[in-house]
Chains A and B, each alone.
Chain A
Amino acid sequence: MNVPTMAEMMAQGKQPEVLFWVGAAGSYDDRAKKISRAFVKILHQANVDFAVLGAEESSTGDAAKRAGNEFLFQMQAMMNIEVLNGYEVKTIVTCDPHSFNTLKNEYPSLGGKYKVYHHTQFIKKLIDEGKLTVDDTNLKGKRLTYHDPCYLGRANEVYESPRDLIRRLGVNLTEMKRSKATALCCGAGGAQMFKEPEKGDKDINVLRTEDALETKPQIIATGCPYCNTMMTDGIKFKEKESQVKVQDIAELIAEANNL
């Protein structure tokens, strides 16, 4: 798969329009890597002039910040900003709502000012600009429910662009009782992804999976690699993996377009 890096671009004297910020999950997590690849296929189909940082990318520091380690966060942020500003990056797109939130909201006051898109916003923009179309036949009629990632939804009020893309797939979208601003967390935010939960009656991802299963879906769509992991685990816990698939919106678009 052709994924140019900023360093390679620079060596050729080129300045890509967009930086794809892959994020730690998208780079290392086996499930999330598939989302990265699906998104790259979409970028290729729409002929987007993009590059990644590759080995020069580092953690945004989001998880460290939510855990309370402001030092580590700012160290990461300042190193990343130095790299990004060095390449004169103007526009960033990412599949990770946590990176999206941090780059968009928390980097500016530390000297990193960029136009930042979540991939659902970016794909919608490609469609609006006529650079991409979505085939609505492959997934037609499938029952789908969408889980709003907290750091995309409540944190940044991005509710419509993912739904807009879902509607173009020709699927049957059913909302959960808790959705959009009242959506329930998948349980991974605030650095919970990296630790065992505190003791309680059940795990948050199981409760959220129950919300989703109430809609009797064939597909649970989401727009966050961490939500994807949590919901996949929830489906396994409920032993529904033969009936229900958890997929990122980028994967659904790629599938719809036979990419």
Chain B
Amino acid sequence: MQYLPNLFFALALIFGIGFFVMNVRKLIRNINLGKDIDRSDNKSQRWKNMAMIALGQSKMIKRPFAGFLHIVVYVGFVIINIEVLEIIIDGLFGTHRVFQPILGNNLYAFLIGTFEILAALVFVSVIIFWLRRNLANIKRFLSKEMKGWPKNDGNFILYFEMVLMSLFIIMNATDIPFQEAGIGNPISQFVAPWFSDFSTETIHTIEKTAWWIHILGILVFLNYLYYSKHLHILLAFPNTFYANINPKGQFDNLESVTNEVKLMMDPSADPYAAPAEGAEETVPEKFGASDVTDLNWVQLMNSYTCTECGRCTSSCPANLTGKELSPRNIMMKTRDRLEEVGNNIDANGGSFKDDGKQLLNDYITPEELWACTSCNACVEECPIGIDPLSIITDMRRYLVMEESAAPQELNMMMTNIENNGAPWQYNQQDRLNWKDEE
């Protein structure tokens, strides 16, 4: 019987981590529904970007107040994991504060003391975050895409963190030998007196309960990630690594189009020629993107990485002037559709069954797509290297090249380029008239 808690702990751990791994596999499967894109070049630059942007949070601090609070919560989260390791060992082997004798009192006191201070700072930061999100009337938290789940999700995360940090402090405060030793308890020593009227037994029960809820809470939180914008704590790393490192103005030149254009411009090519003997029958490629499977895996990973912070949307000139486009919403809708496609595959034994829906029209409207000025403000703003513009561009390509569904004025502009070599209807022979006009 005495091993029952250890057994229960081991089961909770296996179940918690197992369920998480299952969801991560689904996540990877979904991301791989996207087309391949080669982002294996310039490894050193990519590692550097990941170190600076994801690990070093260099872009978060562009907005200093939120950036500073975020760093507090982030550092707290990363460092407190050492404590989680101790909890796991204690839980599995029935030990208590197993690191204390190993590290020696001084180092242990230093570590736990640091965790306590961080926990308190995280607690305060999270409360400020909650106030900002719910009471401070910050426009980017009030957009229409931030109703319902996205709003609740943001708050749930904050509640989770408040509770986990409180439990950590309570757990330390009610550990009588730990308090009596008077080491590493810079915060919990002020909480300990709250419990001084209780019997030793009750205090011990409170400690055990706090300990259990803390670790079970962490496991639940771990599994909450997959369903939440909080997934960014993991995906920010690969996302910054695989982010576009070309100049932002450089759009990719579609290779499938290059082949067609070369064929058109090659005077010796026979358009009616039968495919060479033995040549593969290739399915004509679809130009641009109308659904998530037409996007590449980096774009799909982007959608899962999006933290819905709205920095993109709050700097988008179209959005700032009241137009339908919101780059954040482009990412959120891409993720929603990708989830839907993933669930469809799961429900249909591993293959997608046509559901009569697609990303274009059912999620993202042409009106949003045509409002984009391709100014790259959203890309510049994103603290973790998401590129909403590339999705907008690929969807415009589908609208134009597959459906000829550009706004009429753009069709005229394109006709002019085709006929006169300029977006306006002028004669190409008049190109140099300006030199003689004063």
A residues bordering B, Cβ < 8 Å? 1-3, 5, 22, 24, 26-29, 33, 36-37, 40, 52-55, 57-59, 61, 63-72, 74-79, 101, 104-106, 109-110, 150-151, 154-157, 181-182, 184-185, 187-204, 206-208
Residue of B whose beta carbon sits closest to that of A57: B431
Query: B250 to chain A: which residues have CB within 8 Å?
Result: 101, 105-106, 155
- Give 29 pairs: A residue, B residue, CB < 8 Å, sorted on A: A1-B438, A2-B435, A22-B434, A24-B424, A28-B431, A37-B434, A37-B438, A55-B431, A55-B432, A58-B421, A63-B423, A64-B417, A66-B374, A68-B288, A68-B397, A68-B400, A68-B406, A74-B254, A74-B257, A76-B421, A101-B249, A105-B247, A109-B253, A150-B374, A189-B375, A194-B423, A195-B409, A202-B322, A207-B321
Q: Are B410 and A106 in contact (CB under 8 A)?
A: no
B residues bordering A, Cβ < 8 Å? 246-251, 253-254, 257-258, 260-262, 264-265, 287-288, 315, 317-318, 320-325, 367, 370-377, 379-381, 393, 395-401, 406-407, 409-410, 412-414, 417-418, 421-424, 426, 428-438
Bound-state Cα–Cα, A205 to B170, Å = 56
B249: contacting residue among A27, A59, A77, A105, CB under 8 A: A105
Query: A189 to chain B: which residues have CB within 8 Å?
Result: 373-375
Query: A195 to chain B: which residues have CB within 8 Å?
Result: 370, 407, 409-410, 413
Please report whether the interface of chain B is mostly helix, strand, loop or mixed according to DSSP: helix
Residue of A whose beta carbon sits closest to that of B415: A72
Residue of A whose beta carbon sits closest to that of B246: A105
Residue of A whose beta carbon sits closest to that of B413: A194
Bound-state Cα–Cα, A52 to B431, Å = 10
Q: Are B401 and A150 in contact (CB under 8 A)?
A: no
Bound-state Cα–Cα, A31 to B224, Å = 57
Beyond the given A187-B317, A202-B321, please list 19 additional residue pairs across the A-B interface where CB-CB is below 8 A.
Answer: A22-B432, A22-B434, A27-B434, A67-B406, A68-B398, A68-B406, A70-B254, A72-B414, A78-B262, A101-B247, A110-B258, A150-B373, A150-B377, A155-B248, A188-B373, A194-B413, A199-B322, A204-B321, A207-B320
B432: contacting residue among A54, A105, A188, A193, CB under 8 A: A54
Q: Are A181 and B380 in contact (CB under 8 A)?
A: yes
Query: B434 to chain A: which residues have CB within 8 Å?
Result: 22, 26-28, 33, 36-37
The 6 closest A-B pairs by CB, nearest first: A155-B249, A190-B374, A201-B322, A68-B396, A58-B421, A105-B250
Q: Are A154 and B248 in contact (CB under 8 A)?
A: yes
Residue of A whose beta carbon sits closest to that of B375: A185
Query: B409 to chain A: which residues have CB within 8 Å?
Result: 194-196
Query: B265 to chain A: which residues have CB within 8 Å?
Result: 75, 78-79
Bound-state Cα–Cα, A75 to B414, Å = 12
Query: B414 to chain A: which residues have CB within 8 Å?
Result: 64, 67, 69, 72
- Give A43 Cβ to nearest chain B Cβ, in Å: 12
Beyond A68-B288, A78-B265, whether A150 also contacts B251 by CB under 8 A is: no
Bound-state Cα–Cα, A2 to B433, Å = 12
Residue of B whose beta carbon sits closest to that of A199: B323
Query: B371 to chain A: which residues have CB within 8 Å?
Result: 197-198, 200
